[in-house]
């Protein structure tokens, strides 16, 4: 193989002496190759090709066909195909297989319109770079590798003093996980977003996720999904009420608020300050929802005990 690529010296005469007709190694005037020298080089090339029993052109075409076959064979494995295309491009021989590469990338782009569907950072990075490089329109959104980003986030909490790269990794993973969570359509988030607690009650803590994990520790079986949802909302409301009592409300306001909760009457809402009206109305709405769900299951009596617990 080396003989097909590398030039073989068929003479021990220095190249400077061959190209220079003067007594000095480098001269202002250089002569052309002597016809005898050219003939010797051509004969040496023929001898090498005959020695290997195959012409260089035929061997090259066979190798090119092997690569084309490999590109087609990896069509069912996008990650492997991308790595192969990347290797071909880095070797600088892409121009031999431009048609095959374009066809493979076109098929890949049709199947994976959004690279966020690729759950592997290395593969997604290859997909984005190669397709963008070849002129395909690819979204610039980050890879949706939630397990990988979450694992990175957890690993960063074991960083030591001087692990600057892990500080950057923590910021990166935190921001990305936050962006993912904002896109999730969770029924638990609906309570917080519909009421707009973040704007109307800025002093209240958003502990929806934390409350949900508390309940998961108790009702972890799949059949208790409804119980987890209901209790998570109840805990969220209890957290808001606790913040009203501990951090925001005045003594007089809290007396009125306590009486309204004990009476459990929507008519009491007129006596409350504006921010407490929001909290009180939401509390009533949550328990109305619980009553409706329990009524469908013929267990309406349970809502009574839930109110007594509040």
Domain ranges of the chain: 10-34+187-308, 146-182
Range in 17-26, 129-138, 143-152, 286-295 the model is least confident about? 17-26
Q: In the chain, pLDDT over 70 holds for what percent of residues?
A: 72
CA nearest neighbour of 233 among 173, 283, 183: 283
The pLDDT, as a whole number, for residue 241 is: 85
Can you give the pLDDT at residue 78?
Answer: 83
pLDDT-wise least confident of 45-49, 58-62, 83-87, 167-171: 45-49
- pLDDT tens for 111-121 read 765 555 555 77
Question: For the domain 10-34+187-308, what is the CATH superfamily, name and number?
Answer: Farnesyl Diphosphate Synthase (1.10.600.10)
Contact 192, 198 (CB under 8 A): yes
- Cβ neighbours for 260, distance < 8 A, ≥ 6 positions apart: 268, 269, 271, 272, 280
Question: Rounded to a whole number, what is the largest CA-CA distance in the chain?
Answer: 117
310 confidence band (pLDDT: 50, 70, 90): low
Q: Please tell me the least confidently modeled range out of 185-189, 194-198, 257-261, 284-288.
A: 185-189
List of residues 6+ apart from 199 with CB closer than 8 A = none
Q: What pLDDT score does 3 carry?
A: 45
Mean confidence (pLDDT) of the chain:
76
Q: Is the pLDDT of residue 54 over 70?
A: no
- List of residues 6+ apart from 167 with CB closer than 8 A: 156, 159
pLDDT for the residue numbered 246: 86
Is the confidence at residue 31, as pLDDT, over 70?
no
Decide if pLDDT at 79 tops 60. Answer: yes
| pLDDT of the residue at 40 | 66
User: What's the CA gap between 2 and 105, in Å, rounded?
Assistant: 33
H or E, element range at 82: helix 78-91
Strand partners, 30: 20
Q: What is the pLDDT of residue 183?
A: 61
What is the gyration radius of the CA atoms in the chain, in angstroms? 37
Q: How far apart are CA 68 and CA 63, in angstroms?
A: 9
Give the pLDDT of residue 287.
Answer: 84
> What does the pLDDT read at residue 50?
64
Which residue(s) pair with 20 in the sheet? 30
Segment 242-263 shows an average pLDDT of 85
């Amino acid at each position: 193989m080396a003989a097909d690529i590398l030039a073989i010296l068929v003479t021990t005469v220095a190249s400077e002496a061959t190209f220079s007709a003067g007594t000095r190694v480098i001269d202002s005037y250089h002569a052309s190759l002597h016809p005898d020298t050219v003939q010797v080089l051509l004969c040496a090339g023929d001898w090498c090709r005959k020695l290997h029993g195959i012409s260089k052109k035929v061997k090259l075409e066979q190798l090119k066909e092997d690569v084309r076959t490999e590109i087609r064979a990896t069509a069912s494995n996008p990650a492997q195909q991308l790595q192969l295309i990347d290797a071909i491009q880095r070797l600088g021989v892409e121009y031999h297989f431009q048609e095959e590469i374009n066809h493979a990338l076109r098929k890949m782009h049709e199947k994976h319109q959004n690279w966020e569907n690729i759950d592997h950072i290395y593969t997604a990075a290859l997909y984005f770079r190669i397709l963008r490089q070849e002129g395909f329109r690819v979204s610039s959104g980050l890879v949706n590798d939630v397990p990988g980003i979450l694992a990175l986030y957890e690993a960063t909490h074991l960083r030591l003093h001087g692990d600057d790269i892990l500080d950057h990794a923590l910021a990166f993973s935190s921001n990305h996980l936050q962006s993912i969570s904002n896109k999730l359509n969770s029924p638990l988030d609906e309570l917080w977003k519909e009421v707009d607690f973040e704007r109307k009650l800025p002093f209240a803590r958003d502990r929806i996720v934390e409350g949900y994990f508390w309940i998961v520790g108790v009702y972890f079986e799949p059949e208790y999904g409804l119980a987890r949802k209901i209790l998570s909302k109840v805990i969220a409301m209890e957290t808001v009420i606790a913040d009203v009592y501990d951090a925001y409300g005045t003594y007089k306001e809290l007396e009125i608020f306590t009486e309204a909760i004990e009476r459990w009457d929507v008519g009491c809402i007129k006596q409350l300050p504006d921010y407490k009206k929001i909290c009180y109305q939401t509390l009533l709405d949550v328990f109305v929802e619980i009553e409706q769900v329990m009524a469908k299951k013929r267990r309406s009596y349970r809502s009574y005990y839930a109110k007594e617990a509040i």
